Amino acid sequence: MPDHVHFFARPQHEAKPVAAFMRDWKKWTARQIIAATGTVSPLWQPEFFDHVLRAPRSYSEKWDYVRANPVRAGLAATPEAWPHAGEGADLMW
């Protein structure tokens, strides 16, 4: 999506708190994007929204919602037609 990002994450043993992870992720990605595109800072909004997935059905519903985002925004005819979709790793419930 051109104006926001969705991703699914699962903590590992001794993982950072979500707020610290998001702060660091935003810093790292902002540096990379600004260097590559010349975009000006700030790139990201200071806040973020997190949602805890508590059941397999919740995971499926959120994944379907994220995949359909470009269709709702009029950027692709189908989720499969959106060229920027992908998975870094399959999260198993």
Residues in Cβ contact with 54 at an 8 Å cutoff, skipping those fewer than 6 apart: none
Residue 92 has pLDDT above 70, yes or no: no
Residues in the chain: 93
Give the confidence band of 55 by pLDDT, cuts at 50, 70, 90.
confident
What pTM was computed for the model?
Answer: 0.71
